[in-house]
Structures are given as structure tokens and as C-alpha cells.
Structure 1
Amino acid sequence: MASFHLATKLSSIPSLLLSEAFNQKTETILVLSLALFFSIAWYVWMAKNSSKGKFPLPPGPRGLPLIGYLPFLSTDLHRDFGKLAETYGPILKLRLGTKTCIVVSSPTLAKEVMREQDPTFANRDVPAAALAMNYDGQDIGWAPNGPHLHLLRRVCSRDLLSNKSLDSVYHLRRREVRQMVRDVSSMINSSIDLSELTFLTVLNVLTSTVWGGTLDGEGRRTIAAEFRQWTQEAMALSAKLNISDLFPILAPLDLQGTVRKMKKLAVWMDNVFDSIIGQRREMDSVQGEEENQKEESKDFLHLLLQLREAGDRKTPFTVTDLKALLLDMMVAGTDTTSTMVAWAMGELLRHPHIMKKVQEEIEQVVGMNNIVEEPHLPKLRYLDAVLKETHRLHPALPLLMSRSPSETCVVGGYTVPKGCQVLINAWVIQRDPKTWDNPLEFKPERFLTEEYNKCEIRGTDYRFVPFGAGRRICVGLPLAERMLPYVVASLVHSFEWRWPEGTNYEFAEKFGIVTKQAVPLVAIPSPRLSNPELYA
């Protein structure tokens, strides 16, 4: 999805080529000529092969020679694709450079892709930037379907993100959430950037959970600060239009230098991982296995190294696999979870009566003389409905992660070519008036009704797929299910929140790898709990 962020207009394409890749006019003409030649050859080949099939290609808008439909798309791809779906139907085709993009916008067709033909659509269309950053695309997010991917997912679901493992590192999550509450309590009656606060909190929770027993407090804070800067640079590179993704034949030239820049960032992160892994191994050798079982020593890195030592000879779990999993958790977990916390808090601020109902529920379950703990969360049914409604209206990845069929197949009566890019428009599906009553209204109560109370974020109901579905559903879902309600519940139970005086907050989206709020969310806290020691 991020591989072809289409904010750039038609006029910016040659300017990128000129300013970032070539200094000579003749070289520019040569590259554009090559792109035009391969674009025409590809178009002729597609037209020839599609005419042979029994089923036609999906309908869609005509584009321009060479660049396809690129210049007609805005920065809000999910909205643009939604408007096109109104004209062309729930499955449509666009040409983006030499790429064929199929967009699916209905629960029925999403079910076809993610369940009925799940094995066929289990591969990704991997952008060049992801290959450079994520160990040649061998991480759990981008790896092709096969034994290696199955190994990584098994390690996550069975060992790393099982209930037992998550329970064993709860003390680390609790420590960072309590620190968040202390930080907010030191800024009472001051304006707080909740977007910033939630990002730092989730980042601290993840760094603590991943290697909290390995590093001391200062070490964790240093890594968190450096990782934040790294993430911002990596996301900015990933979000750029990349000519290599639109015209794969030109990828070896890396015309914009995106891959070179991303590789430099990848080397830095790899060195960080090597250093921390070395510290962990040294700690284990000094402490011994018995000492290492102490609660304060446990973290995800400890668990992963144990798995590495007890690896299966047939499908070995390598150090590179370990690093790839760490990177996935840090990048995907931080950005998506913090974004969803900010969206949830924004909706609660916009709807004070809903905020009040959430606080009353927490008060009944937790009490005003106590702090929120993770064991309380399953009892907070209305908060769960609020978070589901937030996911419905503001999915972190509105187009999910792209899929690519391993063979030509048929979806909804149309041919979907092998190797094309397939996007599921969850944003449109979850706002479809045919499925949802008053779909633009923030109404958590809908998820407490008989019609929708079985809609879970685990991808079993294709009207509601914020984390995807099938074998490529987000593997970090078990951790997100704990972190998101824990952070939100702690914020609304410990504090009252209000807009700064005179604020006219613009609740707009900024489309990207993860769709964030266009304007930072700023609010003012005041204490709710009568016992000051609960903020200590």
C-alpha cells in the first residue's frame, strides 16, 4: 500500500526523475523512453491475455499512456477508491504505471479474497523500500507464503504472543502505563499533545516489553528516542512515490535513491539489534538459567533467544528471523496502536456523553480508589464497543496490506491476473450504508446489539476487518487487544479531559502507511481520583 503513495501529481514524476536521479537531459529521455516501451509492451500483453479468458477484467477508469490513472488520484486513496467504486462497482481495476491494481470494496468479495481463495492471495506485492528495510522482505509482514512465513507466524502465535507469554511480561507493560499516568499528572491543567503522548507511551511499552529486562531505564529511554527518529525517517521514505514500484523494470536503477537511503537506516537498526542481543546473551551467561527466570529479567528478546537455542533443524529459527520479528513489533506495533489510541481519545472528547459512560463503567469495575489493571479489561464491555467503533470509522490501515495472487483467478465474476496488486478497502466496507445503520455516526452501542455483537476484530465477520483476515491477518493482534484498551482505560479513568478554550478541532485524516489525524490532538487533563497516591 505504501509502495505507491500517490500524493504526487503528474507533473512531479519527471521532476523527481530530474532532481533526484539524473543530471543529463539525454539520460532522462532514455529512461522515459524505456518506461514508455515497457509500458506499451505490458499493455499489449495484458490485452492479449485477458481476451483469452472466459471472464473479463474488472471495470475501471481509463488512464493516460505510460502512467495510467496516477495523475487523477489525490492524497486520500481510500476515499478516491471509494468514489470510483460508486461508479464501477465493488471490484475495479486501475493501471498505475505498469502495475495493475485491483480494489475490492464489499464484504462478499473481501470474503472471497481473504477466506475462500485465501491460499491464492496469501502473497504480498512487496515495495522496494520494504525489501530494503525488512531483511529483503523476509519479515512476517512481507514474506511470501511458504514454510518460512509459517515458521515466523508459529513463533508469534504459539510462543511470543500466546496468553502465557503476554502474561509473563505484563509487569513491563504495567510499568510504562503507570509512568504515563505520572507524566500526565505532572501536567494537570496544561495542554497536552495526546498524539505525541500516546506515541511515546506505546513506544515505551513496546521497548520495555521487547527488551525491558535487558536494558536499564536510561538504556530503554535512549533506544526509544533513537528509534522514534528512525521510524519517522523510515516512514517518510516509505510513503514517497517510488518509480521503482510503478515501473519494476527500472528498479535496479533506484532512480530516486530510496533503496540506498533505506538500506542506511536498516544498517543502523541492525547494529542496534546486534548490540542489544549481545547484552542479553552476556546477561544470560552471567546470571544462569535459574536467575534468568526472575520476573524482572523476562522480556520478548529473552523468549526469542530461548527459541533460537532450541530451534528445529528442519526449519531453523535464525538470528535474522529474530531481528525481523523485533522490527515488525517495534514498527507496526508502535505506529498502529498509538494512532488508534489517539483516534479513540479524539472521539471521546468529541462525544462527552460517551466519555462519561466509559468512565462510569470503569468506575463500577475498577473503583475510584484503584487503578486500571489488565485483568479488568474483559469486564469493560462498553469500552470494548467504543474501541470497535473507533476501528470501524478509523481503521489504521484503510486499505489493509496489499495482496498478490499466486495465479490468475476469478473474483466476483472477473479475472484477477497473477502478480497484480490487490487492495481491500476496509474504510469503505466499514462505512457501507447497506451494512451499517447511520454509518458515519460514532455509535458504540451498535456493537452491543444482537446484529453486531459478534463482530470481532479477529476477521471472522467480513463487514468488519480492521486487522485483515485469513492467514495474513495481523499477527500482533493479541498484543494490540491488550495494549489499546489498557492505555485508553488508564487515561479516561485517571483524568477528566477537555478541549483547550476556543479550540475548533478539525477531525481530519492524513493518509499514509498508517492513517493518522491530520491535526495533532491537544487536550487538557484534570485529576479524577481523590487519592493522590494513585498518581505516584
Structure 2
Amino acid sequence: MENQTILIIIVALCFITTIIIKNWPKIIIKKKRTQYPDLPPGPKGWPIVGCIPQMMKNKPILKWIHKIMQELNTEIACIRLGNINVIPVTSPELAREFLKELDAVFASRPHCMTCEMTSDGYLTTIISPLGDQWKKMKRIIISEVLSPAMHRLLHKKVCLEEADHLVKYVYNQCQSPLKDGLVNVRAVARHYCGSVTKKIIFGKRFFGAEMEDGGPGMQDEEHMDALFTTVFHVYAFAIADYVPWLEVFDLDGYKKTLKNSIKSMRKYQDPEIDKRVEMWEQGIRKTKEDILDVFINLKDSSNDPLLSVQEIKAQINELMFAAVDNPSNAVEWALAEMINQPDVLHKAYKELDKVVGWDRLVDESDLPKLNYVKACIKEAFRMHPVNPFNVPHVSTKDMVVGGYFIPKGSHVILSRPGLGKNPRVWEDPLKYKPERHIVNESIEVSFVDHELKMFSFSTGRRGCPGVVLGSTMVTLILARLLQGFNWSAPLNGPGIDLVQSERNMLMAKPLIAHASPRLEPHIYAN
């Protein structure tokens, strides 16, 4: 399939080049840029399509990009894909220059097939380019959805309710003779994040029937699978993102895959939205109880609905996949690393016993005091990010950064593993060592690194507005799992295999670990 794709690209290239040569004037006046320095180092590409043939031949693409940078011994590179200069960065200093000092220049997002499909034509916040629509949606998200007041009133309550369900669900797994104490941690973490997000947005934990053990049913499993498929295909180096006229051929299958995953997500989400809109229009519903109610009741200066139904559906779609991937992945990797280092696991248990005790479960008020648990999560963010690159930042004008020319329209992507494992910045970068994040016992560990030595939640104009909710979710999950259960590798097993997937940054196999209750039975019952 890959060879066929490359052949089609080359044939198309020859065809387009022939047309260009035949129809263009004989004298082409090239734009002079003698005043600018060179582009960052990078591989040579073909005319028209750039390095797309090499990209398609050297999958997974994330490893290909990092290999190029390693061979060139550079922390910034330029890889031309189509007529787009993609600028990967692994230097914290350069990352700060792009996202902090020159934030106004690099705050936009690319126009590309995968982003346009996911955002319903750029109606949303995270992946929409700069413009009035982005400003409108960002203002709504910050002031109405992820505000401190909303967190206190809604998010806090839901996070704790779902944490109770989480503990009971894992306890049921421990008690089941069919499970033999084995727990799929990936499924548990995703189940919690998905339930929290659905409860906050739709006021319900599941789209379908709940299973007898408290877990999600078939409908919610399908929704979760579609959600993660969408996450891993948005700005994932689709050919049509760089050469739009090749979209019709869908050479890498991204368009079809993304179309199906979005359809599967919205099969469950959109009917809930339509039903709720109708309830408000008919006066059946009168109290705002969740984010969907908030969206429906927003008014403009003329007292007309501020958001169309299409905008609501698109933004909710984005909220769903933005809230689930990062926390669930960090918890899975953190617990896997901790099981393989019993001394780290013991320190976390000791902190929880000291701060919380044995006669109640972790509450949100305990989280600021759980510095070591948070350091374990932050170390997972550093070593095992869920995506290899952040969502691209687009240059809105020609710039010089780090002594290199960055043309207008370039896509700047910060390498999460490149920053987090940069040997110039981190001592023993391949070792899981939570203590590195505790500078002072009196200073609370934060997941946001404004110095960009690692990349968990973004910074600047495009900084993640959901950092408080995301931080609460991820800390509460791991704290509850650790406080409530003793964890180990499957009995008589060799330990946890910390192998990364070839296709993405997830563990190659879901973490299956042995769990046994640490607390008295009445704690789980309550």
C-alpha cells in the first residue's frame, strides 16, 4: 500500500510539473529574501510534494522526524511537506521563544483536512485558526465552561462522584472470581475520564446501559474507541493536510478513518444535544445543570441564542476528545512505572497514609498536599506523553527564531518526548524519577512547565484552558487507585513490560495489573 501511495504521488507530481512548465511564463521572478538567514536544517524534498514520499515510506512518522533531528544533530529542523515548512523543536529555549516571546506571531492554527473535519469547519476553540470565531469560542470556554466558579459548582462534585464509582468498580474487579484480581488499568482510567466528561457535559455517566459491575456497556465502549481514534488522527501527518488536491484520493486512508470515528462519536452525542434543545424550547427543562444547558442558554446582545446547534455540537465534540486522552494515559504509565519500582510505590503509599489516613477516601481538598503523587504523574507526563507533538502553531508572518528563517505559514510543532527527554536539560532522562520534580517540600508540584522543559499543558494564548480540571482529574484518579488498592505485576509474572507502541505513544499493551484492597470493606461500600 505504501509503495502504491508513493507511486501515485510521483505520477501526480510529474503531471503537475508538466502543467506548470507548459503554462508558466518563461521568466519567473522569484521573491528575494537575501535579508533572511537560512532555514533550519532538514532533508531535501521533491518539487511540489516535498518530503511526503519519504514520510510515507518511513513510518511511524514520529520516529522518522526524531531520527532526522538526531542525524542532523539539531534541536530545530525544517521538513517540507507539500508547500508547508514543518518546524519540529526539541529545545526549551527555542520553544519559549516561539510560544512566549513571539506568542502573538505563532498563535494561529493550520488550515488542514483533519482539523476542518473534526471542528465542523473551524467552529471550535482548540484547533481553529485565529479569527473572530476562535475569539468567540475561547471567551465562552474560559468564562462559562472552565471558570473557577463552574469548577466549584459542577466539576468538583462530578470528579468526586465519579471517583467513588471508580473505586467501587475496581473493588468489584478485585472481588470477581473471574478476574482473579487482575485489572485493566487503561480501561479503568479511560472509563473514569469519559464518565466525568459526559457527566459534566450531558449530566449522565453513560450513553447506554451500565454493566453489572459498574463499568461501561457496549455503546460507551464504542464511543470511547471512536474518541481515541479521532484523537490520534487529528493533525497526524495526513497527506491531504499538506497537499489538499490529493484529498480526493485519500491515499493514506485518514479521511475515511476520521469520518467514521467522528460519525461514531456523534451518533451518541448529537441526539442528546437535539433532545435537550427541544426540551428548552418547549419549556420542559428550566434549570441549568450541565455544560450543555449553559451552551443552549447563552444569549447575544439581542437576546438571541449566542451559539447555533451546529456550533454546540462541534464544540462538545472537541471537549470530549480533549479531556480524556492526557489524564488516562498519564495514569496508566505512572502506575506501570511505579509497580516496576516498588520503592516509588511505597513512598506514594506512605504519603497517602499520612495525608489522608485509612478511614476515608482521598478528597479534592487533599490534592495540594499529595506532592509525591503529583510528582509521579508529572514524571509520566515528561517521559510518556500521549501525543508526540503539540497541536501546531502557525507563523502569521516571516520571522527569525534562533538564528533561522521561519517563513510565514510554517507549522511549528514542539516535540513532547524531545523536550521531556532532552539530555542537555534532564539528568538521566530515560529514568523514571519523580523526586526530580520536588524542588522544595513547601512548593506544590504543578503540571504546567512555563519554561517548556517538558510539555504537558500548553502555555500562552493557546494554553490549555482546562488545566485545573485536567490536573484534578489525573491526580484524583491515581490517588484513589493507590490509596484504595495494593498494586503489583500479575502473580507469577515477570513484571510490567514498559514497551511503547510502534504506532503511537501509548503502552504497546494495556496495563493489566494485580490489585487487592488496602482499606476496610466498609470504605468501599460507602
Which bin holds the TM-score, normalised by the shorter protein? Answer: 0.7 to 0.9
Deviation for aligned residue 1:190: 2.2
From 298, 323, 333, the counterpart of 2:313: 323
Equivalent residues in 2 for 1:262-411, closer than 5 Å: 262-263=258-259, 265-266=261-262, 269-270=265-266, 272-281=268-277, 283-284=279-280, 289=286, 292=287, 298-306=289-297, 308-309=298-299, 316-411=306-401
- Give the 3-state SS of the residue equivalent to 2:510 in structure 1: coil
- Verify: 1:34 aligned to 2:34, yes or no: no
User: How far is 1:496 from its partner?
Assistant: 0.2
1:497/1:525 contact within 8 Å kept: yes
Indicate the residue corresponding to 1:147 in structure 2.
132
2:201 to 210, 219, 223: 210
Residue in 2 aligned with 1:176?
A: 162
Q: Against the structure 1 CA distance between its residues 73 and 341, is the aligned structure 2 distance closer, same or farther, given a 3 Å change threshold? A: same
- Does the CA-based 8 Å contact 1:59-1:93 persist in structure 2? yes
Aligned with 2:187 (options 193, 196, 200)? 196
Specify the alignment match of 1:472 in structure 2: 462
| Aligned residue identity for 2:200 | T
Please name the residue that 2:5 is paired with. Answer: 13
Match of 1:21 in 2: none
Provide closer, same or farther for how the CA distance between residues 213 and 199 of structure 1 changes in structure 2, counting only shifts above 3 A.
Answer: closer
CA positional deviation for 1:37: 5.6
Distance 2:158 2:425 in 1: 40
After superposition, what is the alpha-carbon deviation per residue over 1:479-532, rounded to whole angstroms, capped at 9, x for unaligned?
Answer: 1111000011010000001101223433122366x6211121110100100243
> Is 1:113 matched up with 2:94?
no
- Cα deviation, residue 322, structure 1: 2.2
CA deviation string 1:245-301 (max 9, x = no partner): 242333355556643564455456556444212333455555664xx26xxxx2221
C-alpha separation in 2, matches of 1:491 and 1:312:
49
Q: Which amino acid aligns with 1:391?
A: F
Q: CA deviation at 1:89?
A: 2.1
Question: Does the Cα contact within 8 Å between 1:126 and 1:142 map onto a contact in 2?
Answer: no
User: What percentage of residue pairs aligned between the two structures are identical?
Assistant: 25
Deviations along 1:320-349, one digit per CA (max 9) or x if unpaired, are: 332222111211212222111111111211
2:242 is equivalent to residue 250 of structure 1: no
Alpha-carbon deviation of 1:125?
2.2
| Superposition RMSD in Å | 3.6
Show structure 2 runs of 5+ residues with no match: 175-179, 211-215
Q: Is the 8 A contact 2:223 2:268 kept in 1?
A: no
Of 255, 259, 266 in structure 2, the residue corresponding to residue 259 of structure 1 is: 255
Separation in 2, partners of 1:495, 1:62: 54
Aligned positions, number: 508
CA 1:50 to 1:111, structure 2 compared with 1: closer, same or farther past 3 Å? farther
Distance 2:321 2:237 in 1: 20
Alignment of 1:435 onto 2:435:
no
Answer 1 or 2: higher relative contact order, Cα 8 Å, separation at least 6.
Answer: 1
**Contact map agreement 1:82 1:428 (CA 8 A) in 2:** no
Specify the code of the residue in structure 2 equivalent to 1:58.
P
What amino acid is the match of 1:13?
T
Q: String of CA shifts for 1:16-74, please: whole Å, max 9, x gaps.
A: x5xxxxxxxxxx886343355699999xx999547534211112233456552426744
Change (3 A) 1:58 1:50: farther
Report how far residue 408 of structure 1 moved. Answer: 1.4
Contact 1:211/1:299 (8 A) holds in 2: yes
What CA distance in whole angstroms lies between the structure 1 residues aligned with 2:38 and 2:457? 30
Whichever residue aligns with residue 227 of structure 1, its letter is H
Q: In the TM superposition, what is the alpha-carbon distance from 1:163 to its structure 2 partner?
A: 2.1
- Partner secondary structure for residue 187 of structure 1: helix
| Worse overlay, 493-502 or 176-185 | 176-185
**Which residue of the partner structure matches residue 4 of structure 1?**
none
Q: TM-score, normalised by structure 1?
A: 0.84
Higher alpha-carbon deviation: 106-115 or 50-59: 50-59
CA distance in 2, matches of 1:521, 1:394: 14
Q: Which amino acid aligns with 1:259?
A: K
The 1-side partners of 2:319 and 2:133 are apart by 18
What does residue 3 of structure 1 align with?
Answer: none
1:521 equivalenced with 2:511 (yes/no): yes
